[in-house]
Amino acid sequence: MCEGNSQAMVAKQFTIVQVVPEMDEGGVEGETLDFAVYLARHGHRSMVISGGGRLVRQLEESGVTHIHWRDIGSKSLRCLKYIRKLRCLLAREHVDVLHLRSRLPAWIGYVAWKGMNPLTRPALVTSFHGFYSVNSYSTIMTRGERVIAVSDTIRDHIISNYKVDPARIELIYGGYDTSAFDPARVSRDRVETVRRRWNLLESSVPVIMLPGRITGWKGQDVFVSALEQIKDLPYYALCVGDTEENPSFTKRLKEQIGAAHLEDRIRLVGHCDDMPAALLVADLVVSASSSQPEAFGKVAIEAMAMARPIIATRQGGSLETIRENETGWFVEPSDPDDLARCLRLALADRDRLTVVGREGQRWVQAHFTAQRMCEKTIGCYRRVLEEKEKRRTGQILSVVQMLPELDSGGVERGTLEIGRYLAEHGHRSLVISGGGRLVKQLEAEGSTHFDWDVGAKSPFTIRYVLPLRRLLQQEQVDVLHLRSRMPAWVGYLAWKSLPKKRRPVLVTTFHGFYSVNRYSAIMTKGEGIIAISRSIEQHIREAYRVKKDIRLIFRGVDKDIFDPHAVDPARVAHLRSGWGVNGAVPVVVLPGRLTRLKGQDVFVKALGLLKHAEYQALLIGDTEDNPGFTEELRELARQNGLEDRLSFVGYCDDMPAALLLADIVVSASSNEPEAFGRTTIEAMAMGKPVVATAHGGSMETVTPGLNGWLVRPGDPQDLARALDEALELPARRHSFGQAGRELVNHRFTMQQMCEETEAFYRELVGARRRKLVDSIARCPVETRG
């Protein structure tokens, strides 16, 4: 193993390695050259690894170190020998950033980088230079700690086709070299040399140029077809690009030109070493890319830099670099008729070509220079290195939370709150679930959501193990937080399959009194176990004989939301009107999923036993979630003569207003105790008295005679007794509500919950890192390459 000593990650001067298949011609090579030279001129150590090519001499003359690995872009087993060589090079040279710009070298670079110590390896940056075919081979370009998209179109392509956190993607447009592509710096002799070489003797005949590799997707065949339609006009047409690179397509083009009898007007002039002068030869430049759009389109900006108007296909990056009817024109892809029409119109007004060319020059000077591209790339490097240092020292954490769905309920709300807290404090929050109502809010608050059905109780759920394993490695996750049993099995298997040094910290949260069996025992596998109440902590210890430390972290209320003073009275009035609430009588509310576990049936029976006749009761919960039980409750209400007093109001997305509407809030969970009882503390936060069943977490939040009433579980008579007392004593309801609010503000806030969870994460991650550092210190360091 070739590991180097750690180096200050945010040094003023960097050592940068860029890797490309070759340094011959093309947009990728041009950007690599421009940036490598910029680095060298600004005092950085600039290194490029490639299989060689025309541009190597220019690199080396500019102070860049070129490393010639002939097979680095070769799709054969020969390229595998470079994995160890690159790993040793990165360690030996104390490289700060490894920048991968093409798929095959990216695989070599990624495997080499992945085998290094996460604490000391360089930052990894990848650039998406094209619309790569969407497959597992191309996913390598998403593996960077930062992924550079060369246009907004490419950024959209990445997000649409790959599961990448948008925060990792940086938009950095390509740029042209202002010292080379400047008409004022190109001598008349250089231009005349190019004209003579290409036998352009009649200066009065307009010249149309299509620069680019001679390949089908660049559209030279479409160009020739269009030129055939305007053969009645005077022109010379030049296809500039290496004719030896794709001999079969070159041969086909020559045959097409011959069939059109245009050999004396259309010329395949081959590679050109002086493109600034070549562009000055042209009156009009064409980018005819058809079968595949340009990712950015460097030809277009170089043409505009030389004050030449451009015709391009209406797709891809060209839509971002060309301003229609101002700096050029668009035509439909693969449409020779449309291209012919546009060429005819453009050539009809030579003066207009000059005006459009000058406007294009001003446009690219302001937006698309190589200087601008290089400065933004260095800025990207600085940010990723700063983030890397913060992650190395534990200042920034990457946390994945897993749960079955994000619809409604305490587990889901807690996940959202932790996600928001992490994002607000500069951490990376990723959540995996089967989706639901709360996904939109989750993403708006800064988390990345992965829509995986990890809660399905089916053997097929196991299919997510490998994708999760890849995700944990790719995103360099620090904490994997499992919040429910089925997702926990998926998460645990993925986690267990990783090498110990590559595993994130595993955290599990016991959100309920799960049935005691092997299936539920998965929740005890966390390196850190969170219990949301003392009752749950006791359950874990007694049922599973757990000896390890269990961290008690009570659930919390968001005081910015659950605050009586923060609720606009109009919101309460809206619910009152929509639910038909009579303001003249006390309102008794039971919020929660309509399920037997929540005890709505006990509540309805208790209402039928009340002595106090003046009240209105509301069941808040999705009536479609459990239709069989809902119908049973409706029948029970009819049997007890409660049709005019009890309303099934359905799901509510404004619980603070709903609780403020209530006079008494009930938690009637009977068959199974509340693990904590979030509804109870939310009601308290809104200054409302609560009636809760005397088991589970409610015993830790409700104190009889102080902030509410406790009743025997599953006992309608005892619940009716407490409700009668509450209805008869409004002054006590008020005092209990105030006491409950004080208790929540002191002990049960979301801020406390999030801070304690983050502290637990940091404690576990810190212990893991100390072990890793100790293990590295005990291992000999091999620096030979």
pLDDT score, position 165: 83
pLDDT above 90: percentage of residues in the chain: 82
This prediction has a pTM of 0.68
Q: Is 246 domain-assigned?
A: yes
Pair (442, 331) in one structural domain:
no
Q: Is 2 domain-assigned?
A: no
Q: Is 756 domain-assigned?
A: no
pLDDT score, position 777: 61
Pair (408, 467) in one structural domain:
yes
Pair (160, 207) in one structural domain:
no
pLDDT score, position 776: 58
Buried b (16+ CB within 10 A) or exposed e, 595-605: bbebbbbbbbb
Range of the domain at 45: 15-171
The larger pLDDT score, comparing residue 625 to residue 603, is at 603
Q: Which amino acid is at 210?
A: L
pLDDT score, position 253: 96
pLDDT score, position 245: 87
At 202-225, the pLDDT tens digits run 778 999 999 998 998 899 999 999
pLDDT score, position 204: 87
**Count of domains for the chain:** 4
Q: Domain boundary at 348, 367, 386, which?
A: 367
Q: Is 569 domain-assigned?
A: no
Q: Which amino acid is at 333?
A: P
pLDDT confidence of 5, banded at 50, 70, 90? very low
| Contact indicator for 685, 643 with CB cutoff of 8 Å | no
pLDDT score, position 483: 96
CA 43 to chain centroid: 34
pLDDT confidence of 784, banded at 50, 70, 90? very low
Which range among 102-116, 383-397, 417-431, 477-491 shows the weakest confidence by mean pLDDT?
Answer: 383-397
pLDDT score, position 778: 62
The one-character DSSP state at 781 is P
Pair (316, 433) in one structural domain:
no
Pair (239, 334) in one structural domain:
yes
At 245-255, the pLDDT tens digits run 899 999 999 99
pLDDT confidence of 169, banded at 50, 70, 90? very high
Q: Which neighbouring-strand residues pair with 345?
A: none
CA distance 737 to 727: 14
| Contact indicator for 445, 419 with CB cutoff of 8 Å | yes
State the residue for tokens 């069939």. Answer: 259
| Contact indicator for 690, 683 with CB cutoff of 8 Å | yes
At 291-327, the pLDDT tens digits run 888 999 899 999 999 999 999 999 999 999 999 999 9
In the predicted structure, residue 48 carries a pLDDT above the cut 60: yes
Pair (163, 191) in one structural domain:
no
Q: Is 540 domain-assigned?
A: yes
CA distance 342 to 295: 23
The larger pLDDT score, comparing residue 282 to residue 1, is at 282
Judge residue 375's burial from the number of C-beta atoms within 10 Å of its C-beta, 0-12 exposed, 13-18 middle, 19 or more buried.
Answer: middle
Q: Domain boundary at 111, 146, 171, which?
A: 171
CATH of the domain at 445: 3.40.50.2000
- Map residue 707 onto helix, strand or coil: coil
Q: Is 758 domain-assigned?
A: no
Mean pLDDT of 4-25: 73
Mean model confidence pLDDT for the chain: 92
pLDDT score, position 566: 93
Mean pLDDT of 77-105: 95
Q: Domain boundary at 367, 402, 424, which?
A: 367
pLDDT score, position 12: 67
Q: Is 196 domain-assigned?
A: yes
Pair (538, 661) in one structural domain:
no
| Contact indicator for 538, 515 with CB cutoff of 8 Å | no
Pair (151, 209) in one structural domain:
no
Pair (536, 608) in one structural domain:
no
Mean pLDDT of 538-543: 92
State the residue for tokens 């808040």. Answer: 620
Pair (30, 149) in one structural domain:
yes
pLDDT score, position 583: 80
Q: Is 248 domain-assigned?
A: yes
Pair (159, 297) in one structural domain:
no
Pair (280, 406) in one structural domain:
no
Mean pLDDT of 488-510: 95
